[in-house]
Chain A
Amino acid sequence: MKRKSSGFWSVFGMPVAIALVGTLGLFAALLGDGWWDALAWAGLGLPALYSLRGLAR
């Protein structure tokens, strides 16, 4: 599991991606229903999924 690289993106790549989808989703759902809501579900579901998977390990 160890990595050699310690650059910014190797550490923050995934967190930034998750945060972007999350931000997009939270604000998209303010604009409409349907697909806009689905974006929010994805944006909030991703963190929930990663967390629960970590807890289940």
Chain B
Amino acid sequence: MKSRTIRRWSFVHTWTSLICTLFLLMLAVTGLPLIFHHEIDHLLGDAPELKQMPADTPKLDLQELVLKAQAHRPGEVMQYFGWDEDDSNGVIAIMAATAGTEPNSSHTFMLDARSGEAVEMPSANGGFMMTMLRLHVDMFAGLPGKLLLAFMGLLFVVAIISGVVLYAPFMRRLKFATVRNDKSTRLRWLDLHNLIGIVTLTWALVVGVTGVISALSDLVIAAWRNESLTAMVAPYRDAPPLTELAPVSRVLDIAADAAPGMQPDFIAFPGTRFSSEHHYAVFMKGSTHLTAHLLTPVLIDASNLEVTAIGDRPWYMDAMGLSQPLHFGDYGGRPMQVLWAVLDVLTIIVLGSGVYLWLVRRRASKPVAVAQAETVQ
């Protein structure tokens, strides 16, 4: 590689990294507890605990759960029902002042599917873990925050790619994984920066790219509403708003008949951003490991409970669905979670050593620059 080429790549690497480093550090630090959010919730006693009941206790009808939820939070309306992965008796309910209320102003709690008893989920509505999540997702700045973080993620990807290009000239005469710890602190950290950077490359790229996709989720959902949903509910364009909703009791059976072999993931009530003004949207997931992350909406008319459309799965919705496990690291058991955390800390070390190397080189080159300036004068 010509030295001018190296200098150009070095310029790209230095500045893309420096601009995104503070944000990436924040993301890596807040992401660390989020990897273990389930475990931390349990430790802090924030995880919803359902009462012990005989195993064959029957479950309430879904409409009864709606009534229990409304009794628990009078004056609010249902937005979503979701199903808990840990406990099949737990139904997650999300309610807000209006169906269209933005997610951060909604209230999330759990209903015991057998008794209808409401159990609070403190960490889903506030507290330490919610603060971590909001910092990580949008820095409490809504869409502009998400877009800024998405841009920082893109810079991170460019920094990684330019780092790989620069790896070659640095390592040309060195054996893989060499760490020169007998010369200077700078050399030791240069070698460590190169080593850790190159071996964590795949993970950092995958987490970076899936993070960018997740940060663009609002846009992805808006695209889905504009293209897919609008086409599906076109016949309802001029329909008057619903004054009364048909009971949801049989909605899951209806959706299961319409999408055989699939499981319900969540129900979006009419007026929410995952449904139309006139439909219950039951989002069905596939039953294999892979397809469990891909959702197919079944739209059910909320006045007569007829299935009016089974959605297609646009590629960008699939990309968003698959981005989640690949970003969270929650799909390969406890060892994967622990490795996710280790790689997260290693990324912090790469970021930190990068800043250190830049500072050291800047300090070293300053006298030269000053000397040059003096010669010119």
Write the residues of chain A forming the contact surface with B, with a CB cutoff of 8 angstroms.
Answer: 1-3, 6, 8, 11-15, 18-19, 22-23, 26, 29-33, 36-37, 40-41, 43-48, 50-55, 57
> How near does chain B come to A10, taking the closest CB pair, in angstroms?
8
Per a CB cutoff under 8 Å, which of B175, B191, B289, B336 touches A3?
B175
> How near does chain A come to B314, taking the closest CB pair, in angstroms?
20
* Chain B residues, Cβ within 8 Å of A8: 168
What is the chain B residue whose CB lies nearest that of A18?
B199
Determine whether the beta carbon of A51 is less than 8 Å from that of B191: no
> How near does chain B come to A8, taking the closest CB pair, in angstroms?
8
Determine whether the beta carbon of B339 is less than 8 Å from that of A45: yes
Per a CB cutoff under 8 Å, which of A6, A19, A41, A46 touches B336?
A41
* B293 at interface by CB-CB < 8 Å: yes
Q: Which chain B residues (7-41) contact chain A, with CB distance < 8 Å?
A: none
Instruction: Provide the main secondary structure of the chain A interface.
Output: helix
- Can you show 14 pairs from A to B with CB atoms below 8 A apart? A6-B173, A11-B168, A11-B172, A12-B167, A19-B201, A19-B202, A26-B326, A29-B336, A41-B339, A44-B336, A44-B343, A47-B346, A51-B199, A51-B346
Instruction: From B199, B203, B331, B335, name the one whose CB has the most chain A CB atoms within 10 angstroms.
Output: B199
What is the chain B residue whose CB lies nearest that of A57?
B179
Determine whether the beta carbon of A50 is less than 8 Å from that of B289: no
* Docked complex Cα distance between A8 and B164 (Å): 12
* B325 at interface by CB-CB < 8 Å: yes
Known contacts A26-B206, A54-B191: A14-B339 contact under CB 8 Å? no
